[in-house]
Amino acid sequence: MKTKEILDLIFKSPDVKYGLVEFEGIDFEKALSFSEENGKYFLTCLKRNKLIQIYSEKKSAPEEIIRQLWLYKLIDYYEYKIKLLKSMVAINIMYA
């Protein structure tokens, strides 16, 4: 399946899909690396170089695609060094 077809599968609502305008000008084919196994789709994390499940019949994870597109934009467009970026960091919230 091509990148556009995978994105259409995950971002079913046109309203959500149009929210991707933040990433206009980004070649999704270049930015996102998908793989498929037994009807499940995976995306390779740019930072951790690990597969992240983004779609199965029971669940989809559009937030992972957005996270990876932001990583790509920070690295490619803003020229951040990948070693300076963190992904999936725990946040402790303290109440006063």
Q: Which domain holds residue 29?
A: 3-84
Q: Give tens-digit pLDDT for 44-96.
A: 999 999 999 999 999 999 999 999 999 999 999 999 999 999 887 888 898 87
In this structure, is residue 61 part of a structural domain? Answer: yes
In this structure, is residue 90 part of a structural domain? Answer: no
Query: What is the spatial distance between Cα 53 and Cα 92, in angstroms, rounded to a whole number?
Result: 26
Q: Give tens-digit pLDDT for 7-53.
A: 988 988 766 766 788 999 999 999 999 999 999 999 999 999 999 99
Q: Which two tokens stand for residue 5?
A: 């077809």
In this structure, is residue 93 part of a structural domain? Answer: no
* 4: pLDDT strictly greater than 90: no
In this structure, is residue 95 part of a structural domain? Answer: no
In this structure, is residue 45 part of a structural domain? Answer: yes
Give how many domains the chain has, as a whole number.
1
In this structure, is residue 49 part of a structural domain? Answer: yes
User: What is the DSSP secondary structure assignment for residue 27, as one 8-state letter?
Assistant: -
